[in-house]
């Protein structure tokens, strides 16, 4: 059975070089894991990249992914479109990095940011905080273009939020703790459909958004290790995140061609442990635990 699942997974995730791909720039959480940068996912197609969330280290992780996968779409100057799932700090601490570092590294067009209400205020405050840096680069000796630091914010609601010649993007609401608005995203390209959950407890919205999609990228925590957590943290995580057992049931209904775990909360287990829990809960389709810089 294990050999069969390995073959199924390899088949489900085998990608021609020009296929629409998901590249994991960061699979981490607020926990300071040196092997995992903060949450950031890139959907890459047709020489363009589309980011979901901007965790710590996003620009350097994108540059590393460009080198590892030989994909110029992930070079800093080509990081041009960002979709935010919600405004938790671990998903947005990299936003000033994405605004300013990519500009310093020769992005010439404004960054397009799509996100929930509050995104505009966050961007306005970040630009104000870095006003001295921006002014020095524009007016000082350092060569700098006058447009690449600018940001066009689109505060969005559920529904189709973006389309170009490559793909279209649909946002859907998910429940995440006390946040009034948290979003997941579905990307539809001619060759693949990809759903990224963002942070959410188990939700029918993800099932509906996927509905047999090619790839479901979903957050997860260990159901077994959850029992070791203090009561106050159990109360939080039960309302804000999705356990391995809950994800197994959800993904069975959603029926993606392949399931990718990210934003993994281990609490003492590891990727093998999470995968074992998902399979023990009855999930029978292809599943993998993502690592930073992985391509799926």
User: 79, 48 in Cβ contact below 8 A?
Assistant: no
Within 10 Å of residue 158's Cβ, how many Cβ atoms? 15
- Which structure tokens are listed for 113? 């940011």
Domain 2-158+167-289 coded CATH 3.60.15.10 = yes
Q: How far apart, in Å, do the first and last CA atoms of the chain sit?
A: 22
- Alpha carbons within 13 angstroms on the beta-carbon side of residue 112 total 11
* Entry pTM: 0.94
Number of other residues whose CB lies within 10 A of the CB of residue 126: 16
Mean pLDDT, contiguous 10-residue spans, the chain (296 residues): 42 64 97 95 97 97 96 97 98 98 98 98 98 96 95 98 97 97 98 98 98 98 97 96 98 98 97 98 97 97
**Using CB atoms within 10 A of its CB, is residue 132 exposed (0-12), middle (13-18) or buried (19+)?**
exposed
């Amino acid at each position: 059975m294990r050999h069969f699942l390995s073959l199924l997974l390899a088949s489900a995730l085998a990608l021609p070089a020009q296929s629409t791909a998901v590249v994991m720039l960061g699979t981490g959480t607020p926990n300071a894991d040196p092997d995992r940068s903060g949450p950031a996912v890139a959907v890459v197609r047709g020489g363009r990249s589309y980011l979901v969330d901007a965790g710590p280290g996003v620009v350097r992780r994108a540059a590393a992914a460009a080198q590892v996968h030989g994909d110029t779409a992930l070079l800093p100057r080509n990081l041009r479109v960002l979709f935010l799932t919600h405004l938790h700090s671990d998903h947005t601490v990299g936003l000033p990095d994405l605004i300013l570092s990519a500009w310093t590294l020769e992005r010439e067009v404004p960054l397009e940011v799509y996100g929930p209400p509050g995104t505009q205020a966050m961007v306005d405050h970040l630009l104000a905080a870095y006003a001295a840096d921006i002014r020095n680069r524009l007016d000082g000796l350092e060569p700098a273009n006058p447009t690449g630091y600018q940001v066009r914010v689109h505060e969005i609601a559920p529904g189709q939020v973006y389309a170009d010649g490559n793909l279209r993007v649909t946002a859907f609401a998910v429940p995440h703790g006390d946040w009034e608005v948290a979003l997941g995203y579905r990307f539809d390209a001619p060759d693949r459909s990809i759903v990224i959950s963002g942070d959410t407890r188990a939700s029918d919205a993800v099932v509906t958004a996927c509905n047999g999609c090619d790839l479901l990228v979903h957050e997860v925590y260990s159901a077994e290790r959850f029992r070791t957590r203090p009561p106050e943290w159990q109360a939080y995580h039960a309302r804000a995140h999705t356990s391995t057992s809950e994800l197994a049931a959800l993904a069975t209904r959603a029926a993606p061609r392949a399931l990718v775990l990210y934003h993994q909360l281990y609490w003492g287990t590891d990727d093998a442990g999470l995968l074992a829990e998902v399979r023990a809960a009855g999930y029978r389709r292809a599943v993998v635990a993502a690592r930073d810089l992985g391509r799926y």
